[in-house]
Amino acid sequence: MILNIDDVSVSYGEVSALRGVSLGVEEGSIVSVIGPNGAGKSTLANTVTGFRPYGGSVTYDGTEVSSVDASDLVANGLIHCTEDRDLFGYMSVEDNLELGAYRHGDGEADRLEYVYDVFPTLEERKDQNARTMSGGEQQMLAIGRALMGDPELLILDEPTLGLAPVILEDISDAIEEIREDGVTVLLCEQNVTFAMNHADHIYLLENGRIEKDGTPDDLRGDDYIRDAYLGG
C-alpha cells in the first residue's frame, strides 16, 4: 500500500472538514475520491501532501507525512496537481514545466520529452505565456508540470473541472498513459462518470465522511450512487 489513510480528521477552526476518513491506495492503481463540491476532497488532497494538520495517520510509502517537509515529499515522488493549477501566468509553457523538475534536475530533458509525448499541444505552445492559454490547455500544463517531478504517487484534484468534452478526451487519454507508465494516481473528482471510467477503486466522500466504497461496477449498481450522481 503506497498510501494509507487511517481515521483522519481535519478541522478549520470549529468546522470539521474530514471526520474519521480511512482509505488505501495500492501501488500502480488509480483510486478516485468522488463527492459533491464541499465534501472535503481538496482538504483530503492537501492533507496527504502535508499542507494540513490532521488527527489520525497518513503514511506515504510507509512514512508518516506529518514527519516530513512538504518539499521532501515532492522529492520522494508524492506530487500534487492542485485544483487551482498554480501556474506562473507570465512565464512560458516550457519555463513552467521546467520548474516542476526543481527537485529532480537529473533527467529533466527526458522528462520534458515524456510530457510533450503525453500532451503534444504543450510542445506546440512551449513559448506561449501560460496566462494566454485556454482553461483546458492550462490544465494540461498543470498536469504536465506535475509529471516533471517524476511522481510515484500523483494526486489530481478536480482535473476535469469546467473542461470542454474534447479536452476531457485528452485528459482521459493522458491518465491512461500515466497509469501504463506505472504511476499511482489518487483522483479527487466531482465528475463521477469520468472517475468510473478510470478508477480501480472508488470512495464516496460526503460531508467529510467516507459513505461508500467499491469498484466502479459495485457503485454503478448502487441505487443511491445511480440516483444522486449518475442521473438515475
**Alpha-carbon span 230 to 223, nearest angstrom:** 10
**Alpha-carbon span 9 to 17, nearest angstrom:** 7
Instruction: Let me know: does 156 contact 187? Beta carbons within 8 Å.
Output: yes
Alpha helices (H) along the chain: 41-48, 70-75, 93-99, 108-118, 120-124, 135-148, 165-180, 192-198, 216-220, 223-229
pLDDT for residue 103: 66
**Alpha-carbon span 136 to 139, nearest angstrom:** 5
How confident is the prediction along the chain (232 residues), in pLDDT tens digits per residue?
999 999 999 999 889 999 999 999 999 999 999 999 889 999 999 999 988 999 999 999 999 999 998 888 998 999 999 888 788 888 999 999 998 887 665 678 889 999 999 999 999 999 999 999 998 999 999 999 999 999 999 999 999 888 888 888 899 999 999 999 999 999 999 999 999 999 999 999 999 999 999 999 999 989 999 888 887 5
For residue 49, which amino acid is it?
T
Residue with cell 488527527: 55
pLDDT for residue 8: 98
Residue with cell 449518475: 230
Query: With left for phi above 0 and alpha for psi between -120 and 50, is residue 200 left, alpha or beta?
Result: alpha
pLDDT for residue 89: 80
Instruction: Tell me how far CA of residue 111 lies from CA of 108, 114, 123, 124, in angstroms.
Output: 5, 5, 13, 16
